Structure 1
């Protein structure tokens, strides 16, 4: 690598040294004698074991396991939005559930074997269902339910499934502001001052234009008349409807939808 024209970055050059020193530090301060990791970390782990042997005259150990890769060759657990964590503080149960639910058809059967305790017969049935009706995503749903249940419990599974249904027009009852923020984190959004919703509130037509869901009042009225506008997944039937804070979720959000899939999140400022 050093002989190549593009050379090697300092980060890559120093990675093994820093990881080895990390192991030494943990050995000294926490009595840590074993480091585990994916098989791609073998060289870095061995460097730490050797450093401890040379500097402390002590034995340390490394344990590696086969690296799980997706069908496209990329590492399992990496997404466009970052790493998936077991801790609900780092990855919410809903996003954890969605991660498994979005598993590619080419990977899901292997993941059922790796990450669940399902019987081989059950997995074979799910594989047959995947081949016969891939659009039903029965294997992905079983994977998401099973792993989320093991990590976060049955209540988290029920809540994640309800949240998933919201994106397909399900009701928002029982969901709080934190759930709404999580579910609609990736949809377009706009802000609205709470004062604008005080008293008699704002007309649905003005709200649609303010949020950018429609470009004009005329277009907004046509969409309402056509039955294509939803507020918190409830169809707006009256073009003269007014919207107040009472329509908000915990005084923080309102969910607007045009048609079946075009969502918009209104964030309410105090």
Structure 2
């Protein structure tokens, strides 16, 4: 099976502009394509996973990836999928985040000489003369058409700043710039980016002629990617200092039954024949599929050794065994009052609840256990002596955490 047909079979493709030409270029390893990443944090998270895996697949098929870090556009903020304006970041913060991204991307993409590239749109956007930009690029955009774009329509009721209104022309300029300077002939992005990305294709053809060979593909990452990007209100990061390999493994081990095979198909590099066979699995076999998914993705991000350790720890906890590699929080002595700490405060300190109110609700619902004993009431407290030895806290059936006195 050719690579484009494989992308379709894996359920990755949402919309395309020039399918026959895209198929021809991709299948023959002649695509130079870019995917953009907004450096809004100092780590990538699982919501970026589809894009990273796609870049890896296409590079393996001989195509050349460009990882575009949005150091310039991040100073404005993408209004897509937002109901409010993004907070502004300093240049120093953006540059730091960009460096963190490249280190993590290197696990997926080969940045060797003549292979993948990483560029930062701050290098050209921040040096633009505004009047020249508006005269040259702004003249190619219809305000009427822009206001019909979904990314702007959903913001109109609550207010769309002029600052954000510039995002589409600037993102479009990225493709125009990459096309001219790096021979980039294709752009990939989430399906929620369709309007912004079409702007780039149309800009190139308006400026360079209708025969300019530039194409746009969107992936099914808007809903599924956002769903993967968050869990229990917290991002699941690729940085092991933010999300341990064990926690990362457990996230994938606990995906919904309805989503597990979709994730296996889209994100792993298992052969489609094997995946098609797994698609027939039911009941208890679904848990085996989840273990395969969790192991494969943890191996991809953290290496096979860490994936094996996480899998062993998860199985040990499942059968009531040891707590090796369990995520652990060290509790400072000044968090204790009269030689103890209340369960609500302890859960918040461990990141098992976002507030005392949420922790209280979980306790009252009977879903919190300390050392395998159900917590009887919200007034329950853990003593200093017990905390010195370390306590195992379980939230629900699947979330385990260890707390120990610092």
Q: Which residue of 2 aligns with 1:133?
A: 284
Gaps of at least 5 residues in structure 2 are: 1-146, 345-368, 373-383
Structure ID, larger Rg: 1
Deviation of 1:42 after TM superposition, in Å, equals 2.9
Q: CA deviation at 1:89?
A: 6.2
| 1:105 paired residue among 228, 247, 257 | 257
Aligned length: 214
Rounded to whole Å, the distance in 1 between the matches of 2:177 and 2:370 is 59
* TM-score normalised by the chain length of structure 2: 0.39
CA apart distance, 1:116 = 3.0
Mapped partners of 2:394, 2:229: distance in 1: 32
CA contact (8 A) 2:205 2:212 kept: yes
CA contact (8 A) 1:192 1:267 kept: no
Q: Hey, what does 1:212 align to over in structure 2?
A: 342
Cα offsets for 1:142-162 (capped at 9, x unmatched): 111123223432212122224
Change (3 A) 1:162 1:192: farther
**Residue in 1 aligned with 2:333?**
192
1:76 CA displacement: 4.8
Question: Are the aligned partners of 1:145 and 1:157 in contact in 2 as well (CA < 8 Å)?
Answer: yes
Once residues 297 and 228 of structure 2 are traced to their aligned partners in structure 1, the CA distance between those partners, rounded to angstroms, is 14
SS at match of 2:322: coil
Kindly report the root-mean-square deviation, in angstroms, between the aligned alpha carbons of the 2 structures: 4.9
| 1:27 to partner: Cα distance | 6.4
Q: Is the 8 A contact 1:193 1:268 kept in 2?
A: no
Partner of 2:309: 159
Rounded to whole Å, the distance in 1 between the matches of 2:192 and 2:316 is: 40
- Change in 2 beyond 3 A, CA 1:59/1:124: closer
Aligned to 1:46: 198
Shift of 1:53: 5.9
Match of 1:255 in 2: 391
Which structure would you say has the larger RCO, counting Cα contacts within 8 Å and 6 or more residues apart?
2
Structure 1 unmatched runs, 5+: 182-188, 197-205, 215-227, 232-240, 248-253
Provide Cα deviations, 1:167-209, integer angstroms capped at 9, x if missing partner. 5543234x49xx424xxxxxxx954259x9xxxxxxxxx75xx
What does residue 323 of structure 2 align with?
172
For the residue of structure 2 that corresponds to 1:106, the secondary structure is: coil
1:66 aligns with 2:207: no
User: Equivalents in 2 of 1:211, 1:87: separation in Å?
Assistant: 30
- Classify 1:149/1:53 alpha carbon distance in 2 versus 1 (closer, same or farther; 3 Å): same
* Cα separation, 2, equivalents of 1:267 and 1:84: 23
Distance 1:88 1:258 in 2: 21
Contact 2:264–2:293 under 8 Å retained in 1: yes
* Distance in 2 (alpha carbons) for counterparts of 1:26 and 1:67: 24
Quote the offset at 1:139 in angstroms: 1.6
Deviation at 1:25, TM superposition (A): 6.1
Task: Using the TM superposition, give the Cα deviation of residue 138 of structure 1 relative to its aligned residue in structure 2, in angstroms.
Answer: 1.7
- Partners in 1 of 2:307 and 2:208 — Cα distance? 48
Question: How much has 1:74 moved relative to structure 2?
Answer: 7.6
Normalising by structure 1, report the TM-score.
Answer: 0.54
SS of structure 1 residue aligned to 2:333: strand
